[in-house]
Amino acid sequence: MYTFIDLFSGVGGFRHAMEKRGMECVFSSDIDTKANEAYYANFKEKPKGDITEISEKKIPKHDILCAGFPCQSFSISGAQKGLDDNRGRLFYDIVRIADYHKPYILLLENVKNILTVDNGNVIKTIETKLDEIGYTVQKHVLNASYFGIPQSRERVYFVALRKEQKSDVKLSYHPPKQTMKKIYLDDILEKDVDKALFTNRKDIKIDSRTSKHELNPIRIGELGKGGQGERIYSQSGHAITLSAYGGGVGARTGLYLVGDRVRRLSINECKKLMGFPENWKVSEGMQGYQQLGNAVIPTMVGYVYDSIKIGK
């Protein structure tokens, strides 16, 4: 049985995927108190706190390091300070832990913008640092829409394999193939949702209606000035990217014409859009939406891990 650690663990997306594959989590860490409460509710284990204050020597030996390291400093919606931001510098905690324990595999996830922020210098630094501590890095932008998840969510997945491989473990990796599974937003919508999710504004404008299914969001209208959080999409397409901090009328989820009314998505619908079961525990209210918007999609982690060939 392979072991793994779960850094910046959130509500447990990486762990859900890895445990389904028979692996054992030997350490988890996150600084967010509410996320840690949700993690405990799901796994009966409370993650350790601030990873910057935890010595690598106190972390158990492991075969795989998993980390969806904080993305706010790389996100288009953030200040894009990259590795100069305190959250961006958390990448160096991954480096020090991997350098000390030398796990076979690093599985990392981040926003697409990490590839271009600071004129590409951030991604060059990341690849250089991982190379210096003994890893060959491959990275791929994968969109959940093309892997059976009805949410347009582009993320960069890093697979870093140890250069010095043991004679009994040989590793190789090729990116997963898109499944193009035909599943759409209307396949996961609930029939009865809280009335508070609906908007009754008088400035709703629907430009078109469509029943044609597509593996991407289909914008059909807007309200207000049509800014972020004011655009309306068809239930026949996919959801837009769930956001941890997006505001406006469609805060966190976007707005959708469901039947003949416009609404945000429920927390259970968002769980489905992130590949979590309905009984997955998150915090109440907008905090739960934020936790899901920050999470990794377990299904995507699974596809990436399953594309690593482990031989002898």
Contacts by 216-221 with C-beta closer than 8 Å and gap 24+? 216/145, 216/152, 217/152, 217/254, 220/257, 221/257, 221/262
> Could you confirm whether 25 is annotated as catalytic?
no
- Judge whether 205 and 116 are in contact, CB under 8 Å: no
Write the single-letter amino acid at 110. N
Q: Please name every residue paired with 136 in a beta bridge, in sequence order, or none if there are none.
A: 161
The span from the CA of 211 to the CA of 87, in Å, is: 42
- Beta 170-173 vs 308-311: how paired, if at all? antiparallel
Of the candidates 25, 66, 71, 270, the residue annotated as catalytic is 71
- Element (DSSP H or E) covering residue 26: strand 24-29
Between CA 130 and CA 67 the distance in angstroms is 14
Rounded Cα gap, residues 55 and 97, in angstroms: 8
Give which of 52, 35, 129 is closest to 90, Cα–Cα: 52
Mapped onto helix, strand or coil, the DSSP state of residue 302 is helix
Helices (H), 44-120: 91-101
- Within 13 Å and on the Cβ side, how many CA atoms surround 261? 12
| Active site amino acids | 71
